A and B are shown apart, each in its own frame.
Chain A
Amino acid sequence: MAITLTDVAAERIQAFLAGRGKGEGVRVGVKTTGCSGLAYIVEFVDHHEPDDQVFEDHGVKIFVDPKSFIYLDGTELDYGKEGLNEGFQFNNPNVKDMCGCGESFTV
């Protein structure tokens, strides 16, 4: 399996990277949050770690650390708008439950 990007997400990331002027690609990952539960992160990557998993989709390199990959395998990263906000969305097949706002989830 792998991590993939939608057309819109790929286009946005390329635009972000171009605007920033540097970076190998993006990192997706999870962090623990609160007492239990996990939350997603999206970051630029300047220097990737040796044990990162690397995927390439639409010409964008996606880095995932091996621990996060277990939670994220099969995820499609999308970019969308909700009202005035816009940002990345994770279509993650591993998710079983989400909290009300969708910020944290359990697998």
Chain B
Amino acid sequence: MALIQISEPGQSSAEQKHHLAAGIDLGTTNSLVATVRDGQPETLADADGHHLLPSAVQYSPDASPLTGRAAKDKSSVDPQNTILSVKRLMGRGMADIEKSNDRLSYQFINEDSTVPRIKTAGGNVSPIEVSAEILTALKKRAEKELGDELEGVVVTVPAYFDDAQRQATKDAAKLAGLNILRLLNEPTAAAIAYGLESQSEGVYAIYDFGGGTFDISILRLNRGVFEVLATAGDSALGGDDLDHVITDWLIESSGLNKEIGQNQYRELWHQACQAKERLSQQDVVELSVKIEAAPVWQGTLSRTQLNELIDPLIRKTLAPCRRALRDAGVTVEDIDEIVMVGGSTRAPRVRELVGEFYGKNPLVSIDPDRIVALGAAIQADILIGNKSHEDILLLDVIPLSLGIETMGGLVEKVIRRNTTIPITRAQEFTTFKDGQTAMSVHVLQGERELVVDCRSLAKFELHDIPPMVAGAARIRVTFQVDADGLLSVTAQETTTHAESHVEVKPSYGLEDAEIERMLKDSISHASEDVEARNVREQQVEADRVLFALDAALQSDGNTLLTKEELSKIADASSVLRQARNESNAATIKKAIKDLDKETMEFAARRMDKSIHKALTGHSVTEFNEEN
């Protein structure tokens, strides 16, 4: 007697495979990859423990391109071949790029194609190819960390990206060998990271103050769907500007000439960054400026001083905030939550001023550098079908069970009704006859036990099953219903990986009333169905026995059996044949048992014969040697 474990609602009905999915924040300055492990989203680090991958690619004549930190380090020595901030070029034509004010150090080649190419030592590359390099680096990192291929990713894009920019991002992912489940707006990803989609409705402001850009988005959540009401921002205002103001103050205070060298400036800038970060925790920092190890100035910077320095810049972000509210047609009072994104929002003064503006404390508990990637990972995990229905917001459910036909016209349900979509479920089936090389997969919808009472959705065949004895082949049938309600069924033979699949829209053409009728039928006919299932099961068994017997009789019937024995077996099998055609499970079962008894001796003799055959002509020593 098996021992059954108690399980969570809905978990015991079918086996569930974990699919690897990731969320990618493809940023202007930095990119990140995150995944959901044990129900928790987390960003993945590279071998050195860095989570942020600088969005930089350096091309060289005869080596594969460098990405990330290694590439960024080359930007000062090899600016022509080091591509930074490629995101600004995505989906742009040559004309757009010439119009923009971005000072770019690389040379563009205006070919016939509408996609501009950048001339580098490694050849001419399009922005899509550059982005693909960054995505490839993130893909490798994720696959190394997770130990298997990614089945799908969600890549985030700014809410203001147009179709061309979105398509370019999709193309870059395709080029990197990634399967894009969906592009997700960055502010939406941030809202998802805080679980805001579990509310029934609301209006949210997403304040994204990154290294080089500022974006504000107003989102409205309605029945599980985020709508972008308005976006605004400043593409030339970021955390870097804060650092520059502090550096300039440092230069001024220490009485240095503004015309100091590049290296000296970088050193002071580094000090300014550190001072800014430390002032997030403490009220005062000590600073000392040295030139060639000789101290020239010592002083302090207090938080109040810092605030005075950066206040004008932070206040500059409030104008777009006001504009976004106006464009969205909402007031400050309508905003339910403010989500902080981007490293610069770590500064307490930014939080303070934003809080003052909206009259409400912003959400800050999630790391603002990683939040977008985390939200994308959560979305990817849901889209790939890993989450069970209790964990996700009820998007949509399957109105009637989905299953396939098994021997005897029975329906084996793979996905039960009321399962939320998207969902993936797999089940293994096997062959019925010896040497069977093809299998017909009949996809059905409905609650009843017999095929005739359910609705046929699709039929397809799986070929190239290697010939094996009945029951040895393993055919994995996977049902996948995506977020749009599209069902795809895949059958795969597990040893050869021969595969075949079909796509259908299961809800197509079914009225609510019809669904209700199909459900009621299944309950009112429940006991008939049980009896019918019993009969069919016995009929299937009878067919199998008779089929095997016929094959055996044909090969060995005359040589191994006496006339008398033959006729006894013939009698028993004709009894079974007759019983099979009547609809009484018990009679069929008894006839199978009787036939089994009659053929026991025959089976034993066949066994002897085949052993004899295998050993004939061989000596015992031969077998010993082989072993």
Binding site for B on A (CB under 8 A): 13, 16, 26-27, 31-32, 35-36, 40-46, 51, 66-67, 70-71, 80, 82, 85-90, 98, 101-103, 106-107
Nearest B residue to A40 via CB reads B4
Chain A to chain B: the 5 pairs with minimum beta-carbon distance, closest first: A87-B3, A102-B2, A41-B12, A103-B2, A88-B4
Q: Given A70-B527, A82-B3, A107-B534, 12 more contacts at CB 8 Å? A: A31-B12, A31-B14, A36-B407, A36-B410, A36-B540, A41-B13, A42-B7, A70-B526, A71-B530, A87-B2, A98-B1, A106-B534
Does A36 contact B7, Cβ atoms closer than 8 Å?
no
Interface of A: prevailing SS? strand
Task: Find chain A residues with CB under 8 A from B543 CB.
Answer: none
The residue from B6, B11, B407, B530 contacting A35, defined by CB atoms under 8 A apart? B407
* Closest-CB distance, B566 to chain A (whole angstroms): 30
- Residues facing A in B1-28 (CB within 8 A) are 1-14
**What total of A-B pairs shows CB separation below 8 Å?**
85
B4 contacts which chain A residues (CB < 8 A)? Answer: 40-42, 87-90
Decide if B5 touches A87 in the complex (CB within 8 Å). yes
Residue numbers of B with Cβ under 8 A of A are 1-14, 390, 406-408, 410, 412-413, 429-430, 432, 522-523, 526-527, 529-530, 534, 537, 540
Q: Report B-chain residues with C-beta under 8 Å of the C-beta of A101.
A: 2
10 CB contacts below 8 A, A to B, read A27-B9, A32-B412, A36-B537, A41-B7, A41-B13, A80-B3, A87-B3, A87-B4, A88-B5, A103-B2
Q: Of B14, B406, B430, B537, which one neighbours A106 at CB under 8 angstroms?
A: B537
Residues of A within 8 A of B410 (CB): 36
A44 to B5, CA, bound (A): 11
User: Which residues of B have CB within 8 Å of A16?
Assistant: 6
Shortest Cβ distance from A94 into B: residue: B530
Please tell me which one of the listed residues A26, A66, A71, A90 contacts residue B523 in the complex, with CB atoms under 8 A apart.
A66
A32 CB contacts on chain B under 8 angstroms: 412-413
* Residues on the A chain within 8 Å of B406, using CB: 35-36
Which of A13, A16, A35, A42 has the most C-beta atoms of chain B within 10 angstroms of its own C-beta? Answer: A35
Q: Which A residues are in CB contact (< 8 Å) with B432?
A: 35
- Asked whether B540 lies within 8 Å of A42 as measured between CB atoms, the reply is no
Q: Which residues of B contact A44 (CB under 8 A)?
A: 6-9
Partner of B10, one of A13, A43, A67, A90: A43
Q: Verify A31–B1 contact, CB threshold 8 A.
A: no
A41 to B429, CA, bound (A): 20
* Nearest-Cβ distance from residue A27 to partner chain B, whole angstroms: 7
- In angstroms, Cα B7 to Cα A13, docked, is 11
Residues in A with CB closer than 8 Å to B14 are 31
Specify the chain A residue showing the minimal Cβ separation from B527. Answer: A70
Chain A min CB distance to B385 (Å): 20
**Distance between B527 CB and nearest chain A CB, rounded to angstroms:** 6
Given A35-B430, A70-B527, A71-B530, A42-B3 contact (CB < 8 Å):
no
- Chain B residues contacting A27 (CB-CB under 8 Å) are 9
Closest A residue to B413 using CB positions: A32
Contact (Cβ within 8 A) A45 B9: yes
A85–B5 Cα distance when bound, in Å, is: 10
